[in-house]
Structure 1
Amino acid sequence: MDIMRIYKEANALLEGHFLLSSGKHSSFYLQSAKVLENPKLAYELAQSLAKVIQESKIQVQCVCSPALGGILAGYELARCLGVRFIFTERVNAEMTLRRGFEIYKEEKILICEDIITTGGSAMECARVVESLGANIVGYAALANRGICKRFNAFRAGDYLECKLDSSLPLFALEDFVFDTYEAANCPLCKQGSVAIKPGSRGN
């Protein structure tokens, strides 16, 4: 699948001046919600991602996503893998498991996001379910911002900003590598532009 084309055709690859969840600025933003609003396309993307995961031979018993952004991608992926799905959510800024969801001892859980940037939210989610006795077997996303190393990808990079557990695989359909800037050194800010946050937090 041509993931870049799919995002462009869905108007999910935005151009402008954006504030990312990491606090950095960029002239590009991935809005996976625009892709996932098409159920048929969401299913096809999840099928492709599930195939990559199945080919890796890791065992998955449950998919867990951090709310809100990862819920649709995680649910579709769980459906394609034939496993159950749960999600974590923030309560008073702290990630937690609610709504009667249960974690079984040593259950093999895959953490799924719509987009992986630094992996901060995915790691918050992972820590919650690990604290309840689960075993994290990997991470997955439709798109990877290139800060973390994708499974079987050999692109050069030091990945110092990646917060994911480097001992576990990251599965994604594509790397989207865009320039990002610290707010103090952002050329767009210096031109007088104001960064906006179009994602699920702060909007």
Structure 2
Amino acid sequence: MNLESIYKECKAYLSGHFLLSSGKHSGFYLQSAKVLENPQLADKLCKELSLVIEQYGLDFDSICSPALGGILAGYELARACKKRFIFTERVNGKMTLRRGFEVKDKEKFIICEDIITTGGSALESAKVLEDLGAVVVGFAALANRGFCAVKNLNTNSKVNAKLPENLPLFALGNFDFEIYDEEHCPFCKEGSKAVKPGSRTN
């Protein structure tokens, strides 16, 4: 499965000057919503991801995603794995479990995102669940932006990676885009203004 080709065919592989959810800037952006708007394609991708996880024999009970971007990927992955699905969401800037969702003591979770950059949002979701007595056993995403180590792709983590190294991350593809702090962004120095095509502001 060539994930890059799929994103390009779906017009989800964008080039320009982008502000990422992490606050950093990049010349490329993966708009997974354009991929996941096709239910048949979403089903195909998440079934493939479920097979990757199955190959490693990871034991888990449920899947949780941080809203908003991870919900479709997480739901489809849970469906493929025949597991329960819940999601966390930010309330006044703090990641929270709402809507009557409950977590059992020692319930084993995979945290699923559409895209993992540094893993910050996934880690916030993991902490919410762990504070409620759950156990996070791994992470999953359709794609990794090159910072976190991906178990099935044998990639290494970079300095900005936030996911714990003792837990596996599974992904269908790795996109190693260059990202910049605003003060070091070459696009900003050229006078360009970063746009944010993600889910938090539009």
Is this contact kept in 1: 2:146–2:157, CA < 8 A? no
| Deviation of 1:185 (Å) | 1.4
Find the residue that maps to 2:14 and give its secondary structure. strand
Provide the residue aligned with 1:196 in structure 2: 195
Tell me the C-alpha RMSD between the 2 structures. Answer: 0.9
Provide the residue aligned with 1:34 in structure 2: 34
| Deviation of 1:190 (Å) | 1.3
2: CA distance, partners of 1:65 / 1:139: 10
Is this contact kept in 1: 2:145–2:174, CA < 8 A? yes
- Once the two structures are superposed, the pairs formed by residues 25-174 of structure 1 within 5 Å of their partners are 25-155=25-155, 157=156, 159-174=158-173
Residue by residue over 1:72-126, the C-alpha shift from the partner in whole angstroms, topping out at 9 and shown as x without a partner, is 0000000000001000011111111011111011011000000000000000000
Structure 2 gaps of 5+ residues are none
Provide the residue aligned with 1:14 in structure 2: 14
TM-score (normalised: structure 1) = 0.97
For 2:51, give the aligned amino acid: K
1: CA distance, partners of 2:196 / 2:157: 27
Find the residue that maps to 1:26 and give its secondary structure. strand
Count of aligned residue pairs for this structure pair: 202
1: CA distance, partners of 2:47 / 2:115: 16
1:6–1:167 distance in 2 versus 1, CA, 3 Å: same
Q: What percentage of residue pairs aligned between the two structures are identical?
A: 62
| Deviation of 1:158 (Å) | 5.1
TM-score (normalised: structure 2) = 0.98
Find the residue that maps to 1:130 and give its secondary structure. helix
Structure 1 gaps of 5+ residues are none
For 1:49, give the aligned amino acid: L
Is this contact kept in 1: 2:73–2:112, CA < 8 A? yes
